[in-house]
Amino acid sequence: MIEKDMVRVLSDEDIRKIHEQTLAVLEDIGVTVVHEGGRAMLADAGAKVDPQTHMVRISSDLVERSLETTPKRIVLGARDSDKDLVLEPGGRMYARNGGGPGHILDMETGKVREITTTDVANYARLVDALDHIDYAAPVYAQDTPPATRDIRALATMFANTVKHINMRVLNVRSLSYVIRMAEIVAGGKEQLRERPLITMLESPIAPLKVPDVLVDTLVTCGEYGIPVEICSMPNAGATGPITLAGSLLVSNVEMLAAVVISQLAHPGAPLEFAPRIVIMDMATGRSLTGSIENALLAAAGVQLARECYQIPVNIHGPYTDGVIIDSQSAIERTYFTFLSAFAGANVLAGAGHLEQGLVISFTQLLIDDEIYGLVNRAVEGFRVNDETLAVDAIARGVAEGNFLTDKHTLKHLRMERYVPYLLTREARAAWEAAGSKDMATRAKERAQELLKTYRPVPLDDDVARMLDEVVAEAARELEKER
């Protein structure tokens, strides 16, 4: 990426004030920490703990010391080391698909249905095949037992993509199995620490509550060097103040509280900020994700992480409140993605999501891959130097009357332009001759073609067998409890 001024929705004074008030809220109001061990660890470090309410007040000094040990640069390893990613402020921007939902907009019927194991595999295969989606996140098959749904999803992902995997456990007891699986694929504990193949996503609960599962995830993942994506989601007007600044403050407080817990347990443990502030629609009670205010908050969260804390930041890119692939979805996800990208996000997540992230669509995934390609090209910018200003070529072009066959044109032809694979650039007659297909139809057909022809690099037989053994063990231990 060419160095340039990024989009700044916050002034220097705004950033200073938000940081100061974040420290004040942590010290004067505090956060609720349900986890007994987490409270004890914080108390040992000097935090003030109320044994009745479980509120923990954290000094600014403790926060600042924790920020000092938080890595500014983290590596997300992949099964194929050529797909490793490096996250750092000012570094390259990456993209991933949207994970989590249990429902899919069926590509063949156009109806929403529950996700199956086949869908999980196909989603991973598409992500593996696409050029502009750099790592993967699973969805959860509803035809698998709830107690091991997350574990089975990860096994399916490992079998169908060589890219890094972002993971969220549905039950804290799954965590040990998930880490064992990652160790197996990585080749051992130290190999996993050096190049962690998974990132764990976990969330505070707004307003200002640190749940058990977040503490356990931070502590356990820190031990293994697995990055944790701290996903803070206050709902402005419901679980956060109605003002954008107020909910941004709540989100920042929650993420910094998680930073302190992580760094007390394992100084140097890798983290990502993931502010995902939503807004309550008071008319319907729905939590809006695709509004322009959501996009502003995302850009502000990126700016805080980048300028104030220098911590890698992961933001949702193609958010939409729309339920189908239409103009609303295109408008919302495009302004969201471009604003977050030009604010300096390290990761744009959420490709393939519809309906506030409750549904995935393979067709939408392909469209978002195209959007990511365009965004990457825009963020890359263009170079201005003697070669690109092309004074000598201009002299030759004036003499010839055109630049079509000039050596400078041939040299730079493929470097200067991004060539889209879904956008149509042809004249109407050619478009009609090709079937008058709209964007969604072209994306659907491309997805169908990839699912028929693309085959990911398989796991080694021994690795696949060991993963199956872990899944079987998890099924014996966890499913019997249901």
- Whether 3 has a pLDDT exceeding 80, the answer reads no
pLDDT in tens, 236-251: 999 999 999 999 999 9
Q: Are strands 359-360 and 353-354 parallel, antiparallel or unpaired?
A: antiparallel
Q: What average pLDDT does the segment 354-361 reach?
A: 96
| Best CA proximity match to 178, nearest among 228, 143, 212, 115 | 228
Structure confidence by residue, pLDDT tens digits, 409-458? 999 998 899 999 999 999 999 999 999 999 999 999 999 999 999 999 99
- Cβ atoms < 10 Å from Cβ of 217: 25
Residue 375 to residue 225: CA distance in whole angstroms: 31
480 band by pLDDT with thresholds 50, 70 and 90? confident
pLDDT value of position 6: 81
Torsion of CA 432, 434, 436, 439, to 10 degrees: -140
Q: Give percent of the chain with pLDDT exceeding 70.
A: 99
User: 149-160 and 461-478 are packed helices; what angle lies between their axes, rounded to 10 degrees?
Assistant: 170
Rounded-to-integer distance, Cα 198 and Cα 191, Å: 12
Average pLDDT, the chain: 96
CB 48 within 8 A of CB 56: yes
Query: Does residue 213 register a pLDDT over 90?
Result: yes
Dist. CA 117–CA 132, nearest whole Å: 24
Q: What is the mean pLDDT of residues 142-164?
A: 98
Confidence of residue 293 (pLDDT cuts 50, 70, 90): very high
145 upstream amide cis, omega within 30 of 0: no
Render pLDDT for 307-339 as a digit per residue (tens, 0 to 9). 999 999 999 888 899 999 999 999 999 999 999
pLDDT in tens, 30-80: 999 999 999 999 999 999 999 999 999 999 999 999 999 999 999 999 999
Report the pLDDT value the prediction gives residue 482, as an integer from 0 to 100: 55
Instruction: Round to whole Å and give the CA distance between 258 and 31.
Output: 10
- In order of their start, the domains of the chain are 12-68 (no CATH), 70-380 (3.20.20.480), 386-416 (no CATH)
Residue-level pLDDT at 4: 57
Residue type, 135: Y
- Cα separation of the two ends of the chain: 50
**Total-model pTM:** 0.95
- For residue 376, pLDDT beyond 60: yes
190 burial (CB, 10 Å; 0-12 / 13-18 / 19+) is exposed
What is the pLDDT at residue 1?
Answer: 47
Rounded distance, CA 22 to CA 31, Å? 11
What is the arithmetic mean of pLDDT over 395-417? 93
pLDDT level of residue 5 (50, 70, 90 thresholds): low
